[in-house]
Amino acid sequence: MNTNLLLSPPLSLYIHIPWCVEKCPYCDFNSHALKSKIPELDYVQALIADLDADIARFDLKNRVLHSIFIGGGTPSLFSAKAIESLLNQVLHRFKYELDIEITLEANPGTVEADKFIGFAKAGVTRLSIGVQSFESEKLLKLGRIHNVNQAKQAAQLAKECGVNSFNLDLMHGLPNQTLDNALDDLRTAINLKPDHLSWYQLTIEPNTAFHSKPPKLPQDEVLWDIQDQGFKLLSDAGYQQYEISAFSLVKSDLTDDKKCQHNLNYWRFGDYLGIGCGAHGKITNQITGLIQRTVKVKHPKGYLDKNREPLNKLTTITPDELPFEYMMNQLRLFSSFTLAHYQQRTGLAASSVLPTLLQAQAKKMMINTQGSSAEKFSIESKWQVTPLGHRYLNDLLELFL
Ligand SMILES: C[S@@+](CC[C@H](N)C(=O)[O-])C[C@H]1O[C@@H](n2cnc3c(N)ncnc32)[C@H](O)[C@@H]1O
Ligand code: SF4
């Protein structure tokens, strides 16, 4: 690894809130059904102690904060007052741009107008609402705590509460879902005019209730039609796909970018701190050139224990792991990247990945979008995944292992 090649990547902050009203049967996120009142004050205190330890560990006092994402679990279970206290304390510790993106995830069953207005006043600029489906039968099957009307109301409140933008999370490939069901869900979402849509295909994860008792999922041909026609519907409605599951509304004047800046930083192999139960982080040390990962204590009880260090694991990504780690993120995106960017983010020479890129190009999974063959090997030449590469992304990624 050559530290001269490394440039300081943007720094984001992920904050994990590990509680939900109930555990959904498909969800493998670190979330726990709430049994009593949330220890809000203690948790905010623990988060700030966790953050201070990371700042000291990685000497981050002079880094500019690029974005914040409060995810879960269900962060909207927290009071606006607790979120305000948390954000004030976080922002006090960093330099940051005035238009910094601060996202908070909300579950429609846990919000009302005053709460959204309170979040906006606390500094939240973007709400991400977990709708999943607009069909009552599907919501029941997914174990959601809200109904269709509450989901629609949450979107309306998000529009009026004072945040800059809002996202809706929808899933497809749901139990017994037909092509028409899935397209109807998308049409309803589009009619609510979110600035951003995350459209995930339901996956059955180990250690979930759906894994122990699998529901009947649509056949592969139906799944394929849902994707194919869903992408077209979104595109016709002005939503640009910029990542496998992420779509942003393109305004006609093109001035206002609605892509999620926080997630973009992950996908571009930027740096991020992860604080809260089980949160993951990735930080580049500018002096040693080491790129390190952190994992925090997973269970709320252990995390809230003042006698315990919040850090559970600290590992270094080795140079031979870096090409895959970079590509695993970057290749999810529909935009191109340069070898110069690869060098800056990994500290590795372009030669560590160029033969594999050429191999992927020969398989028609990647294209080099720039100029003549002489320019092909310039570090400024641009590389992009083809539709074939995105369709068989796992096969493409295996080339980088
Ligand atoms: C961490 S969850 C948080 C959102 C919030 N707790 C809620 O459910 O309303 C983020 C999103 O991941 C998606 N998700 C969770 N489990 C999934 C699975 N097994 N397959 C596909 N998407 C999933 C859902 O769309 C969910 O809204
Ligand atoms: S509410 Fe969200 S985080 Fe909580 S269990 Fe359901 S999907 Fe997972």
Which are the contacts of 325, defined by CB distance < 8 A and separation ≥ 6?
Answer: 269, 317, 346
Considering the domain architecture, whether residues 52 and 174 belong to the same structural domain is answered as yes
Ligand 2 atom nearest to CA at 145: 1
Between 342 and 369, name the one with better pLDDT.
342
Ligand 1 atom nearest to CA at 171: 25
Considering the domain architecture, whether residues 367 and 232 belong to the same structural domain is answered as no
Ligand 2 atom nearest to CA at 107: 1
**How distant is the alpha carbon of residue 343 from its chain centre?**
24
Last residue within a domain, chosen from 265, 286, 312: 265
Report field, pTM of the whole predicted structure over 0.85: yes
CA of 250 to the centre of ligand 1 (A): 24
Considering the domain architecture, whether residues 237 and 130 belong to the same structural domain is answered as yes
Considering the domain architecture, whether residues 245 and 384 belong to the same structural domain is answered as no
Phi, psi values for residue 235, rounded to 5°: -65, -45
Residue 370: predicted pLDDT: 66
CA of 130 to the centre of ligand 2 (A): 8
Q: Find the domain containing 369 and state its range.
A: 322-398
For 230-259, the pLDDT digits (tens) are 999 999 999 999 999 999 999 766 667 899
Which are the contacts of 395, defined by CB distance < 8 A and separation ≥ 6?
Answer: 365
Considering the domain architecture, whether residues 22 and 102 belong to the same structural domain is answered as yes
Residue 288: predicted pLDDT: 85
In a domain, 370, yes or no: yes
Which are the contacts of 9, defined by CB distance < 8 A and separation ≥ 6?
Answer: 265, 268, 269, 270, 271, 284, 344, 345
Place of tokens 């606006």: 80
In a domain, 288, yes or no: no
| CA atoms of 179 and 200, how far apart (whole Å) | 15
In a domain, 21, yes or no: yes
Last residue within a domain, chosen from 245, 265, 285: 265
CATH of the domain at 105: 3.20.20.70
Radius of gyration for the chain, computed over Cα atoms and rounded to the nearest angstrom: 21
Ligand 1 proximal residues by C-beta, below 6 Å = 26-27, 29, 71-72, 74, 105, 107, 130, 132, 169, 171, 200, 202-203, 205
For 139-166, the pLDDT digits (tens) are 999 999 999 999 999 999 999 999 999 9
CA of 130 to the centre of ligand 1 (A): 7
- The pLDDT of residue 77 is above 60: yes
Considering the domain architecture, whether residues 52 and 156 belong to the same structural domain is answered as yes
Which are the contacts of 116, defined by CB distance < 8 A and separation ≥ 6?
Answer: 106, 127, 157, 158, 161, 163
Q: How confident is the model at residue 375 (pLDDT cuts 50, 70, 90)?
A: low
**How distant is the alpha carbon of residue 207 from its chain centre?**
21
Ligand 2 atom nearest to CA at 144: 6
Considering the domain architecture, whether residues 34 and 165 belong to the same structural domain is answered as yes
CA of 165 to the centre of ligand 1 (A): 19
| CA atoms of 296 and 18, how far apart (whole Å) | 12
- Tokens read off for 385: 């995944």
Last residue within a domain, chosen from 233, 250, 265: 265
In a domain, 40, yes or no: yes
Residue 285: predicted pLDDT: 87
Residue 115: predicted pLDDT: 94
Q: How confident is the model at residue 208 (pLDDT cuts 50, 70, 90)?
A: very high
Which are the contacts of 319, defined by CB distance < 8 A and separation ≥ 6?
Answer: 1, 348, 352
In a domain, 29, yes or no: yes
CA of 128 to the centre of ligand 1 (A): 11
In a domain, 251, yes or no: yes
Average pLDDT, the chain: 94
For 318-366, the pLDDT digits (tens) are 999 999 999 999 999 999 999 999 999 999 999 999 999 999 999 999 9
Q: How confident is the model at residue 109 (pLDDT cuts 50, 70, 90)?
A: confident
Considering the domain architecture, whether residues 253 and 347 belong to the same structural domain is answered as no
Side-chain half-sphere CA neighbours of 282 within 13 A: 19
Counting residues of the chain whose pLDDT is more than 70, the rounded percentage is: 96
- Number of domain units in the chain: 2
Considering the domain architecture, whether residues 326 and 258 belong to the same structural domain is answered as no
Residue closest via CA to ligand 1's atom 1 equals: 72
In a domain, 51, yes or no: yes
- Tokens read off for 137: 């039968």
Considering the domain architecture, whether residues 237 and 338 belong to the same structural domain is answered as no
CATH of the domain at 337: 1.10.10
In a domain, 272, yes or no: no
CA of 248 to the centre of ligand 1 (A): 18
